[in-house]
């Protein structure tokens, strides 16, 4: 926890769970990306946390933006980013959305099939397109599965098709899966990417850019490699597969830019034993899967949870949210150690909660308001 967040929480008088994001940490993260991945432009994945204060800070630092919808594009523009610094990275767009983005001045779109190329051709003629290739996501705690990206061997056909439709085939993108622990995960994707570059070159199409995606981790319970290790492994892979002709590169971090900048303060609502001899207690918080902690689905993301009693002896707990839905259980398969002295009404701090929380909160399930967010 940063001193600024500690001070803010001390002064706070309102009730209910809240997320506090420290902009100083976001700034530091941005500068770290610039250092660890020199010559690589950073496109912030807006979906991770679209708070206007975060977008304004990043826009002011010269950051670019990866958006998935017209509303996200408008938010980036409102924060001061010119349209040339915005990439529409979602491969699943309505033609009306492409037209609206084009109307806002955006001219870079991701595609992963011919039908999407046709839409871009009609709604955003002459634009640059990036073809997204599929990655298996192994090594990631929050993999992106087969939903996105074509088979790498098909990408040159799609880019050639785009060329014939009057679009500009600009490059290749991939995403190695979010919260990626393996710094070598980019190697295989870059091997495929280099093959697409060669296949296109044989057809007279010169690609310019590789979009290395996101996947850079935030530190949760499990230790993660340092950002510099990712930078070094990626650069090694670029050299290995592209030799001296390394193309222009960009990254699209979401979690890696804002994850560790935010912390949620929540409260213990109930501690229950289901039978007198039960040694695993149920701890119910005033936050759960529906109020911002959706990434505990499958117990994928294991947040560090701090209490004021962390020096005391601990015992395994099942942690759950307050809503009347039985899926609203955070950790049960792997119970979570919490102090035996933890009591109803105690505050708990959920660390590294700056990404994929506030926007994942429901609008009013069971009457609970969406997670409140303060950006300081």
Ligand X SMILES: *Cc1c(COP(=O)(O)O)cnc(C)c1O
- Nearest residue (CB) to ligand X, 17 versus 354: 354
Which phi and psi (to 5°) does residue 43 adopt?
-110, 105
Q: Mask 137-176, x = binds ligand X (CB under 6 A)? A: --------------------------------------x-
Could you give the C-alpha distances from 117 to 1, 80, 121, 200, 253, in angstroms and in order?
46, 29, 6, 16, 25
- Nearest residue (CB) to ligand X, 171 versus 254: 254
How many chain residues interact with ligand X (CB under 6 A)?
16
- Nearest residue (CB) to ligand X, 22 versus 66: 66
Residue written as token pair 């979009």:
211
Q: Which part of the chain contacts ligand X (CB under 6 A), choosing from 13-21, 45-53, 75-83, 324-332? A: 45-53
- Nearest residue (CB) to ligand X, 17 versus 254: 254
Is residue 216 a contact point for ligand X (CB under 6 A)?
A: yes
Q: Mask 236-255, x = binds ligand X (CB under 6 A)? A: ----------------xxxx
Q: CB of residue 10 vs ligand X: minimum separation in angstroms?
A: 30
Is residue 231 a contact point for ligand X (CB under 6 A)?
A: no
- Nearest residue (CB) to ligand X, 107 versus 256: 256
d(CA 15, CA 11): 12
Q: CB of residue 256 vs ligand X: minimum separation in angstroms?
A: 5
- Nearest residue (CB) to ligand X, 47 versus 121: 47
User: Does residue 63 carry a catalytic annotation?
Assistant: no
Q: Which of 25, 51, 66, 249 contacts ligand X by CB under 6 A? A: 66
- Nearest residue (CB) to ligand X, 45 versus 172: 45
Q: Mask 176-215, x = binds ligand X (CB under 6 A)? A: --x----------------------------------xxx
Is residue 47 a contact point for ligand X (CB under 6 A)?
A: yes
Q: Is residue 57 a contact partner of residue 98, using CB atoms and an 8 Å limit?
A: no
Name the residue number minimizing CB distance to ligand X: 214
Q: Which part of the chain contacts ligand X (CB under 6 A), choosing from 5-13, 41-49, 196-204, 227-235? A: 41-49
Enumerate residues 6+ apart whose C-beta is below 8 A from 339: 307, 309, 310, 312, 313, 314
State the CB neighbour count (10 A cutoff) for residue 193.
28
Q: Is residue 112 a contact partner of residue 152, using CB atoms and an 8 Å limit?
A: no
Q: CB of residue 341 vs ligand X: minimum separation in angstroms?
A: 36
Q: CB of residue 47 vs ligand X: minimum separation in angstroms?
A: 6
Chain centre distance of CA 355: 6
Q: Which of 17, 50, 89, 149 contacts ligand X by CB under 6 A? A: 89
Which residues ranging from 286 to 325 are in contact with ligand X (CB under 6 A)?
none
Helix (H, G, I), strand (E, B) or coil at 305: strand
Taking phi over 0 as left and psi of -120 to 50 as alpha, with beta for the rest, 105 belongs to left
Q: Is residue 208 a contact partner of residue 255, using CB atoms and an 8 Å limit?
A: no
Which residue, 158, 151, 81, 78, is CA-closest to 120?
Answer: 158
Q: CB of residue 14 vs ligand X: minimum separation in angstroms?
A: 29
Strand segments, DSSP code E, in the chain are: 18-21, 40-45, 64-67, 86-88, 108-111, 128-132, 140-142, 168-173, 178-180, 209-211, 248-251, 262-272, 281-285, 305-307, 314-320, 329-339, 347-350, 372-375
Tell me which residues are annotated as active site: 324
Residues near ligand X (CB under 6 A) are: 45, 47-48, 66, 89, 175, 178, 213-216, 252-256
């Amino acid at each position: 926890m940063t001193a600024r967040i500690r001070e803010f929480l001390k002064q706070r008088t309102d009730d209910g769970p809240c997320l506090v994001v420290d902009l100083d940490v976001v700034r530091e993260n941005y500068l770290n990306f610039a250092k660890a991945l020199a010559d690589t432009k950073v496109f912030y994945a807006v979906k991770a946390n679209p708070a206007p204060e975060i977008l304004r800070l990043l826009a002011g630092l010269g950051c670019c933006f990866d958006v998935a919808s017209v509303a996200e594009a408008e938010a980036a523009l409102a924060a001061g980013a010119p349209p040339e610094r915005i990439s529409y990275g979602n491969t699943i767009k309505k033609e009306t959305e492409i037209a609206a983005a084009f109307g806002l001045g955006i001219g870079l779109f991701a595609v992963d099939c011919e039908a999407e190329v046709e839409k871009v051709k009609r709604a955003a003629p002459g634009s640059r397109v990036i073809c997204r290739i599929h990655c298996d996501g192994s090594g990631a705690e929050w993999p992106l599965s087969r939903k996105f990206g074509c088979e790498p061997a098909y990408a040159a056909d799609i880019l050639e098709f785009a060329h014939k439709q009057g679009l500009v085939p600009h490059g290749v993108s991939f995403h190695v899966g979010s919260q990626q622990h393996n710094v070598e995960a980019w190697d295989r994707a870059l091997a495929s990417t280099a093959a697409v570059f060669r296949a296109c070159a044989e057809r007279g199409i010169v690609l310019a850019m590789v979009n290395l995606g996101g996947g850079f981790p935030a530190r949760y319970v499990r230790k993660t490699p340092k950002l510099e290790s990712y930078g070094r492994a990626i650069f090694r892979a670029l050299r290995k597969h592209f030799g001296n002709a390394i193309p222009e590169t960009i990254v699209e971090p979401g979690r890696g830019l804002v994850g560790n900048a935010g912390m949620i303060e929540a409260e213990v609502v109930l501690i229950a034993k289901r039978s007198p001899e039960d040694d695993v207690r149920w701890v119910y918080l005033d936050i759960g899967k529906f109020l911002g902690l959706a990434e505990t689905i499958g117990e994928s993301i294991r947040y560090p949870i701090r209490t004021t009693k962390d020096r005391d002896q601990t015992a395994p707990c099942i942690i759950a949210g307050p809503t009347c839905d039985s899926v609203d259980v955070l950790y049960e398969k792997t119970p979570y150690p919490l102090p035996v002295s933890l009591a109803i009404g105690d505050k708990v701090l959920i660390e590294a909660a700056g990404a994929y929380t506030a926007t994942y909160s429901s609008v009013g399930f069971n009457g609970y308001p969406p997670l409140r967010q303060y950006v300081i």
